[in-house]
Structure 1
């Protein structure tokens, strides 16, 4: 299987797999069967494998140029990716009842942590990654790939927020979200939230290691150097 057919199949399977977290009954059944840790590990491995497949499939699809690749666009990616990785590193597994990648336990609405910066750090990380790569890659396959990621992430932000609000009820939602914001930095600018203390050094180290790893493996794995 080559060309557009592989790219379409990989994309459909990736999107189908990421519909699972938005299905509470199915996700609950998987968590019961695999355990919380097993669910997280299993879903993470599946997501990673499918993500790499759809990226490689986009690279193997027929090249149809829509706009030329520019040096400034590569700089944009190199500026955006550390921000995206930081959001993901501080969001995954953090106390945050609003995000699917986090945990509800341990959340303090007075000191909301990463939720004070944004209630959906991982979705924003994906959106930043997709938008930056969309600009830097000017061919049809990557427009479809990164455009789909950006579009579905935007839809996911709205849908997840609405579902969490319904589940919590308006009173509980207002109580828990009083010092948070959906748009990154909105609560900080509005004065509803101020950071307390220093960021977790462990999560910061993880973010740096992930960035270094992705930067150095981009050329040998993806086949394109991230250097401007």
Structure 2
């Protein structure tokens, strides 16, 4: 559990710099944007490695905190439908990214909520709950911050069609194959 907590602190900590210390982030980036991005990436990757390692270890000796009814699995799957679409939206600017304003944060919120609905072990609550709290906090903080532009395609209504098709394709691929391969828990039994 220690690795999971440390990984969450590293990953969400570096992703929270703009929330809690934006002037510090701006000073680092102004000195050397490449060095800042490299440091950001290294800390993020170390965090991801520790999260995966810690979560895998915690799953070996689960501590059940709550159990949910089986039908919530279907609701959770439905809640996951827009996640891949929203996650791609900032890079394919169109109506979806305009309406949602912060589509990736909404994707993380839906992802975390859907997983909390069906996973009641302590490690699950730490992992998905931490991401949920972070994403909500970041979404709230975005109201007072100037958003930095992300690289992406020029705004077009065709982009919405692209991300809906790509997002649904990724959803299907993840549901049928990748979740079992990467996470070790097949979704279709």
TM-score (norm. length: structure 1):
0.63
1:74·1:226 contact (CA, 8 Å) conserved in 2? no
Distance change >3 Å, CA 56–CA 132, structure 1 → 2 = farther
Gapped regions of structure 1 (runs ≥ 5): 95-111, 166-195
- What is the match of residue 214 of structure 1? 174
Gapped regions of structure 2 (runs ≥ 5): 148-155
TM-fit CA distance, 1:69: 4.6
- What is the match of residue 11 of structure 2? 14
Structure of greater Rg: 1
TM-fit CA distance, 1:136: 0.6
- What is the match of residue 81 of structure 1? 80
Work out whether 1:60 is the aligned partner of 2:57.
Answer: yes
1:6·1:57 contact (CA, 8 Å) conserved in 2? yes
Of 133, 136, 154, the residue aligned with 2:118 is 136
2:105·2:139 contact (CA, 8 Å) conserved in 1? yes
Whole-angstrom distance in 1 between the partners of 2:69 and 2:76: 11
Work out whether 1:159 is the aligned partner of 2:141.
Answer: yes
Which protein has the bigger helix share? 2
Q: How many equivalent pairs are there?
A: 176
Structure 2 matches for 1:168-179, cutoff 5 A? none
Whole-angstrom distance in 1 between the partners of 2:130 and 2:80: 18
2:10·2:44 contact (CA, 8 Å) conserved in 1? no
